[in-house]
Amino acid sequence: MQTRISYEYDDEIGKIAKSFDDAIVHIHKLSTSKNLFMRNLMHELKTPITKGRIIVEMIDDNATKEILVRAFERMNELISELAELERVTEQSFEPYFEYTLLSDIISQSTELLMTSNESVVIEIDDISLNTDKKLMSLVLKNLIDNGIKYSSNQAVILQTRYNTIEIISRGKVLEHQLSYYTEPFSQGEKRSAGFGLGLYIVHSILQRLGYRLGYKHRQGNNIFMLIPKEK
What are the distances in angstroms from CA 10 to CA 14, 15, 36, 130?
5, 6, 36, 52
Q: How confident is the model at residue 91 (pLDDT cuts 50, 70, 90)?
A: low
Q: How far apart are CA 149 and CA 163, in angstroms?
A: 26
Domain ranges of the chain: 12-88, 98-228
- Residue-level pLDDT at 181: 83
Has residue 167 got a pLDDT over 70? yes
CB burial class (10 A; 0-12, 13-18, 19+) of residue 140? buried
CA–CA distance, 226 with 231 (Å, rounded to integer): 11
Domain 98-228 falls in which CATH fold?
Heat Shock Protein 90 (3.30.565)
Question: What is the number of H-type helices and E-type strands within the chain?
Answer: 7, 7
Beta bridge partners of 169: 222
Model pLDDT for residues 37-90, shown as the tens digit of each residue: 777 777 778 788 888 888 888 888 888 888 888 888 878 877 877 777 777 777
Rg (CA), the chain: 21
What's residue 72's pLDDT? 85
